[in-house]
Each structure stands twice: as C-alpha cells, then as structure tokens.
Chain A
Amino acid sequence: MPSLTLEKPPAATPSPAPTASSAMPRPAAPKATTLLIGLDLGTNKSCILAGPPGSSDITVSKVVPSVVGYVKDGIVDGIITGNVRVLYGEDALRQRLHVDLVAPLAEGVIARPEAARDFMQHIRMLADPTGRAEIRAVVGVPANAGEQAREGIRRAAQASFSRILLIPEPFLAALGFRDDSRVKQSGYVDPVVNSLFIDIGAGTSDLCLVQGYFPTREDQISIAFAGDAIDESIFDGLNRTYPNNGLSRISVREIKEAYAYVGPSRKPLDVKVVIGGKGRTLELGDAIGDACNALIEKIYPALTALIASASSDSVVTLLQNIIVTGGGSQIRGIDTVLQKRLSDDGYESPKVRLAGQDFQRYVALGALKAARAARENQWQVLLD
C-alpha cells in the first residue's frame, strides 16, 4: 500500500493521489495556531491529551471509548440529540439501541478504516472545537507494529492532523510515567533509563525493555492476548455454566472490570446481574480467574525472555523496576502474582508494581511529551 505521508527531511517517495476526504466538514478558516496532541489510540478506550507547544499546559484531557455509532435508518427525529447521524464514545454506547456500533480498532490496529477516520475527526474536534488549529499528533502504536498497521493509522489521521509521529506505546508509557521533576534527584530511578514496562490493553499486551536508548525490535514483545481476549474467555465460561444467560459482551466487560483477579481461585465470587428484567446472582469465580490467569501464562514467558536479554550490569536494577500499566493493571493481584512467580523462579529481589490510578493517561502523556520535544524535521507531514 503506497504511503500517504511525506517524510521530512529529505523528501521521501512521491505520494500517490490523496484518498477521498472524510464526510465531516473541514475547517474553512486558515489555521492560525498549532496544537499538540498526545494520543493513546486504544482498542477499547482512547486517551487524548492536548496542549499548546512551548508550554506544559494540558488544555484537553479525555478518555473516550473507541467506538463510533452510526444512527440506524428510521430512527425518529428527536431520539438522538441534535439528530446527528454519527455518535462517538460514551454517546454512542448510551444510544446503542439506536445505532450500529463500530469499533475502529482491533488488537491495537485499525480494522475499520472509515470508522477510524471518523473517530480521528472526532478526536480532532475534542482537542480543538474551533477547528482552526494546525494539529500535530504523536500517536502510540503497539510494540513492533508493522508498516501496514502504521499506514492504517496515518490514513485514518490524514484528514484530521497535519503532522504525525508514531511511537510504540510501551516506550511512551515509560516517558509518561517518568516524573520529570525528580529526574535529577539522587535515588530516583528514571524509568526511561532502566525499566521493563508491561502495558496490558484491550487488544494487545505489550512488553518493552527501556534502558536509556530507543528500544529495538528485540526489546519489545507484543502479545495479541489482552482485555478483549479475557472478555471472550469469561463470556465462553459464563455460557457454559449459565447457558442462555442473555448477557452481552459489554456487560461481560463491565463484570470483568469490576471483579478481575489472578492467582488462586476466589470462588465463590457472586456477581449480581439483571437477566430478563429479574435480578440474579451468578457465581463467576472460576470463569473470571481462569480467563485472567491465562493472561499471566502468556505474559510471563515474554517477561522472562526480556529479562534474559538484558545485560548483566543492568538486570539487577531492572528487576526492581517492572511496571504494569494499561487497563490490565487493574486486575487484582497481577503485580504480586508476577512478582512471586519471578521470585519463586530464582530471580533476584524482583519488584513488580502498578502504574497507579493514572494508568489510562501514561501513554498519552508520554506522547504529548514527545510532541513537545520533537524537532521540526522529525514530524511526518500528512497530505490532505
């Protein structure tokens, strides 16, 4: 697929004719200001942080479900606020009875290009309601994303952003997690200097060694098993135990987010749901535990592989700086289970910790930091 971007400098291969523009109207007025966006384009949720260049201000900070809702034909006027034909994020989910919900991404990459373009346009309007700013966006991509996946993001973004930079998410997570005010303090271990990030999203679980240089392909592992796969596994377990329960995948995801755990079985784990209008209690201890523990079985070999690849001079400190971020960091016990497993396997004083309450923001925050630091010739120009 020919690239639609033009790299600077030097001018790269000539670009082909631009594709048709999005259905959303383009801003007519000349773009007077520049706005920087740090974007974590997640399979399930996207985080947008925006601010002006040359400042540390964050003027926009939003977490948006990565979903587009196209209003179904025949919906009566007034049912949808403003009678708009396309809804996004929470609005789309709220109106899911009246729209066709489309997820622009699957496993961290663009799966539905038209919806992705519309979603990017929505992101643009969230960051810049005036529609007049020139937008430059740093967008996180899964570790070791191929050129086709990257080009998908560029194409989706071309009608919305004027310049773009694609950077692997785990590295951005390290940048975002870094406390810049403490970098020069003695005793502070800069996560960009020596750490191992485990970013568990909806589509992929990405692991990355970050050791003071930009991670190579060998420093990154992307596993196509993450939140969505856990949802699917719980859904299957639920249907085996409670056939015809009628619960939707969205409901299963909500159950997961409330009750997910790893480690020994926490049975009985009673979950109250409403099925057919009636309240019921389902015991889901094993369904949830088995699904989440399957994630550990995928992550752990990748974790030890990266540890093994670190230099002997750095590995002891590295073992003290294993950080779990992303939605998967909310799985109860994931830090202690991974740490215990490493310790039981003989690793020297491992310490696995969670990124904390701001886990949703770190990739976008790292992306915004990168946008602020990027040199002019590092940006890729997107053709209209």
Chain B
Amino acid sequence: MGRIYRRICLLRSEGRGPEAQRIEDTELAAAAAQARGDTDSGPESDERMKALLAGERERVAAAVALAEVLAPMLSERLAALAPARAAAETPGRERPGASPSGEARGIADFIDEMLAQERAEAL
C-alpha cells in the first residue's frame, strides 16, 4: 500500500493528476480494503492508515527536493565527461561544439579526454 501511494504522490508531483487519481480510485482503494479486512477495522486502524500515507507523502516530497538539488550537479559532471564518452561510445554522433573559451579547460583535462577515448576504444 505504501508503494502504491508513493507512486500516486510522485505522479501528482509531476503534474499527472488524472493518472494519480485513477490509481488512487482503483489500486489504492483495493489495497486499503484488503488492509482493513486483514486487521481489526475501526478508528485506530484508520489512524494508522492515515499516518502511513502521510509518511509516504513526506518521503516522496523529500526525494523530489533531493532530486532538484542533485540534478544540476550531476548534469554538470556528465557534461564534462560527455565529449569523450559520446565520441568513444557512439562514433558518428554529433560532436561537442566549440567551447566558448579554451582557458577554462587545462591541458591536463584534454589529456584526460584523450585517455578516456583510448580506454573506450580498447574495450
């Protein structure tokens, strides 16, 4: 049930409300009904279920926030590796364009790119 609700929260965070609603009305409802049937029904059971769903909501919100912080960092690192990897792993693909200033990249960085190309070709 927690897994289903996480998926619903994620869909809502992505703006896919109707899809989230469909899953809530079908899969979540079925899972909740089964959970009530397996345990004693009553206010305490409902409270536990609400607490569970609230906990899952918070987990998804925290994960989305972390992704928003990590994504720019990862994309910078991947961009730095991308010319050597793209050239070595997918020959013929479009090459990186001219960088605005060579001074930002040192000779050692060029050597790193060369060695990365050689290692990729050796594989």
Which A residues have a C-beta under 8 Å from some C-beta of B? 147, 165, 167, 171, 175, 183-184, 190, 192-194, 211-214, 216-219, 309, 311, 313-314, 317-318, 369-370, 373-375, 378
Contact = CB atoms under 8 A, between A and B. Distances in A.
Contacts of B12: none
Contacts of A194: 98
B96 interface: yes
Q: Which of A216, A313, A374: most chain B Cβ within 10 A?
A: A216
Contact of A214 (B94, B97, B98, B114): B114
Contact of B87 (A147, A218, A311, A370): A218
A218 B92 contact: yes
A194 B88 CA distance: 21
6 contacts: A183-B102, A193-B99, A211-B97, A370-B111, A378-B108, A378-B112
Interface of B: 83-84, 87-88, 91-92, 94-103, 105-108, 110-115, 117, 122
A214 B110 contact: yes
A174 B51 CA distance: 65
A193 B110 CA distance: 12
Contacts of B87: 216-218
Most buried by A among B83, B87, B111, B122: B111
A212 B105 contact: yes
A361 B106 CA distance: 21
Given A192-B102, A378-B111, 17 more contacts: A167-B114, A171-B110, A190-B101, A192-B110, A193-B99, A193-B102, A211-B97, A211-B98, A211-B99, A212-B99, A212-B105, A214-B83, A214-B114, A216-B87, A216-B88, A311-B95, A378-B115
